[in-house]
Each structure stands twice: as C-alpha cells, then as structure tokens.
C-alpha cells in the first residue's frame, strides 16, 4: 500500500515546539511499520485550526493532490481530528479520495478500516464528536476571554518579540531579530533565513516553521512596527 501522510497542529505554540507534530509522526511511523506500507508523500499544517474550510487548507490540499498524482492508496492521519474538526470537510475529503481510488485511514482506527455500513457509521460519529468538541472548546475560550477583559486582565502568551514589563506589553530583545528576518526573506527562502538568524542573533531556536509562522502573523515589517507603535503610543 502506498500512503500519503498528513499531520496538523492548531496553535502556533504547538508548531514552534514541534511536540504535537512529533507525537503524530511517531504514531504514524509505528503504524506504517506494522502495516508494511510505503510512504510516497508527507504534508504538514502548522498553526492551522481544524475548523478552517478546505479552500484555506494548503497542506491538506497538497496532500490530496499527492494522492491523485502519485497514485497513493491511502491518506493517513494519526487521528481523524488531525484531518479536520469540520464534518463537511471530512466528507469532501473522503469523496475526493474515493474518486482517486484511495481512502482515508486513521492510525487510531476510528471506523476507517473499511467502508462497511458499521465502519462508516463509526467514522461519522467520530467526526461529529470532534466537531462538537471543537465548538465547546471555542465557546469556553470566548467566555474565559470575556471574563478576563471584564476584570481588565491581560490574557494569552506575549507575541514573539514582545514581553510584559510592569503590566505593559513592549518590544523586547528579540524585536530587532524579526525586523532582520523580513530583510533576509527578501533574498532568501525560509530555511536559509532561519539558518542565518541562528548565526547572527542571540536567539538560537529559529526554524523554517518559526519563520513561516511569524511571517504569516505579521505579514510585513510595516504591520509589525504599527503594532509596536500602538503599544508605545496608544491612541487617546
């Protein structure tokens, strides 16, 4: 069997640490060895919500393209909620795989062993539960944020390049490194940019994933500087 692997983590912290991706990769590699399958493609989405529509899922779209182009037999995930937390997205993915003569497989089983009526039912149940859990988490998060705002509390981790000082969010020693990152990206790809930053800055944990996440977050040096200026000189 020829397999295309897909992994996903939903938060930037998971993406930066690699812990979530590493755990998925370990589970998938063990599953591949047990099955004796061949890996023909691998794709990852880092810092992408499982509720994101399919048209905004570049990594997943690339994985599906690989299944079709490379004549893979399966799209393999560690668990179904790593594919998506949207019931309709999973249905669309399964339909596209079926047209390509392939199928979706979860390393955890979850009703993906066959297309028997009972397995299809189990698969739909897991997908529905995953979507429901995602909605519950989202609602609880919104409520917690609202309560903190009422109390005037700051919430969430400080963005990279900024830190809390005496209750204020201000640029820190890594701020200039992000400006340098944007300068380097004009002439280098993300991997080479990370290598240069590790050589030239005090922060030594730069990676292609971190550069990609920061680039996506700030979009440009102008946006980063505007955020900094809004903190230092807030509008009255």
Report the 10 Å Cβ neighbour count for 178: 26
Let me know if residue 194 belongs to a domain: yes
| pLDDT > 90? residue 68 | yes
Question: Please, which pLDDT band fits residue 61 given cuts at 50, 70 and 90?
Answer: very high
- What is the structure's pLDDT at 1? 93
Q: Do 166 and 129 belong to one domain? A: no
Q: Do 104 and 187 belong to one domain? A: no
Radius of gyration of the chain (CA): 21
Q: Do 8 and 117 belong to one domain? A: yes
Task: Give me the CATH number covering residue 117.
Answer: 3.40.50.1390
Q: What is the pTM of this model?
A: 0.58
| pLDDT > 90? residue 167 | no
Let me know if residue 143 belongs to a domain: no
Let me know if residue 145 belongs to a domain: no
Alpha-carbon dihedral 228, 193, 43, 62, rounded to 10 degrees: 80
Let me know if residue 147 belongs to a domain: no
End-of-domain residue from the set 114, 134, 154? 134
Q: Which domain holds residue 35?
A: 2-134
Q: Do 128 and 90 belong to one domain? A: yes
Please tell me the total count of domains within the chain.
2
Residue scoring higher pLDDT (68 or 121)? 68
Mean pLDDT of the chain: 84
> Listing from the earlier edge strand, what are the strands of the sheet with 38-46?
38-46, 2-9, 74-77, 103-106
- What is the structure's pLDDT at 60? 94
Residue scoring higher pLDDT (46 or 93)? 93
Question: Please, which pLDDT band fits residue 236 given cuts at 50, 70 and 90?
Answer: very low
- What is the structure's pLDDT at 119? 84
Let me know if residue 142 belongs to a domain: no
pLDDT digits (tens, 9 = 90+) for 97-116: 999 999 999 999 988 888 88
Q: Do 114 and 208 belong to one domain? A: no
Let me know if residue 49 belongs to a domain: yes
Q: Do 112 and 223 belong to one domain? A: no
End-of-domain residue from the set 86, 116, 134? 134
Question: Please, which pLDDT band fits residue 187 given cuts at 50, 70 and 90?
Answer: very high
Let me know if residue 25 belongs to a domain: yes
Phi, psi (5° rounding) for residue 2?
-105, 125
Q: Do 108 and 72 belong to one domain? A: yes
Let me know if residue 47 belongs to a domain: yes
Q: Do 115 and 218 belong to one domain? A: no
């Amino acid at each position: 069997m020829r397999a295309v692997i897909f992994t996903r983590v939903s938060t930037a912290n998971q993406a930066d640490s690699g812990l979530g991706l590493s755990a998925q990769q370990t589970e998938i590699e063990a599953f591949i060895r047990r099955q004796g399958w061949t890996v023909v493609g691998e794709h990852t989405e880092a810092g992408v919500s499982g509720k994101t529509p399919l048209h905004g899922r570049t990594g997943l779209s690339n994985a599906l393209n690989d299944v079709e182009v490379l004549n893979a037999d399966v799209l393999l995930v560690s668990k179904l909620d790593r594919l998506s937390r949207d019931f309709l997205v999973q249905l669309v993915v399964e339909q596209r795989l079926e047209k390509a003569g392939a199928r979706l497989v979860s390393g955890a089983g979850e009703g993906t062993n066959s297309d028997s009526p009972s397995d299809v039912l189990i698969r739909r149940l897991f997908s529905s539960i995953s979507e429901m859990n995602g909605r519950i988490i989202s609602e609880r998060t919104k409520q917690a944020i609202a309560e903190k705002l009422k109390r005037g509390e700051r919430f969430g981790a400080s963005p990279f390049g900024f830190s809390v000082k005496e209750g204020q969010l201000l640029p820190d020693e890594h701020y200039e490194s992000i400006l340098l990152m944007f300068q380097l990206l004009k002439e280098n790809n993300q991997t080479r940019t990370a290598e240069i930053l590790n050589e030239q800055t005090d922060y030594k944990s730069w990676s292609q994933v971190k550069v990609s996440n920061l680039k996506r977050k700030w979009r440009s040096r102008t946006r980063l500087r505007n955020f900094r200026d809004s903190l230092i000189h807030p509008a009255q």
